[in-house]
Amino acid sequence: MFTKQENTMGTKITLSDKELELVCNTGWILTKHAVMQKVYCLFGEAVPLLENFLQENRDALPAEVFSLPPKISKGENYKLLPYAMLDYPRHFGKDDTLAVRIFFWWGNFFSVSLQLSGQCKENTVSKLKEQFEWLGQEGYFICVGESPWEHHFEENNFIAVNKCSRKEFESILRRPFIKIAKKIPLQEWGFVPAFIENAFTGLVSLLKNNG
């Protein structure tokens, strides 16, 4: 039989009423697992459509696009929240990067981003300059942060292309890496498949005839 004993651990660790309610409730964590599984399924269903688009445009796209198959992965701690991502294409070389990342962030959004560095970036800069107005009209953002591995859309990481002057936009393109992205709130879940397809095809089209 358990008997209360004097605390010998030093600091007393207690739970708030909310924390105690959650730790005793299995329902929310099971729901979380179910949601993450549906995100995985959503990504899996998107893959054939994305592969078809790439194959249909194979002759116009750089070889790096086809270097590796799609990869779906997940984690529990992007800024303390769960996430999942689909990387395709995913060329992460020592000196060059060419990748499209479809990203789900719990409590926030889905996003699709194009990341470029090295020669892959240099081959695409002129096309990005040509498409400056289109990127703004379509609601894309460009990364101004210091790291290509941050995905949040705070002002210190992404700014809307339609908020940039052409001169500012072209200045950002001179940075060591380029990251162009678009997002959709989770409240618009029903539109996510179409969003992924449209954003993906739009970003990949920026790579055509540049390599």
Q: Work out the mean pLDDT of the chain and round it to a whole number.
A: 94
Neighbouring residues of 185: CB distance < 8 A, sequence distance ≥ 6: 108, 109
pLDDT for the residue 12? 85
On whether the pTM is more than 0.85, the answer is yes
Instruction: List pLDDT tens digits, range 149-163.
Output: 999 999 999 999 999
How do residues 83-127 score in pLDDT, each as one tens digit?
999 999 999 998 899 999 999 999 999 999 999 999 999 999 999
- Residuewise pLDDT in 10s, the chain (211 residues): 555 555 555 678 999 999 999 999 999 999 999 999 999 999 999 999 999 999 999 999 999 999 999 999 999 999 999 999 999 999 999 889 999 999 999 999 999 999 999 999 999 999 999 999 999 999 999 999 999 999 999 999 999 999 999 999 999 999 999 999 999 999 999 999 999 999 999 999 999 975 4
23-55 burial: b if 16+ Cβ within 10 Å, else e: eeeeeeeeeeeebbeebbebbeebeeebeeebe
Residue 112's beta-bridge partner residues?
A: 102, 182
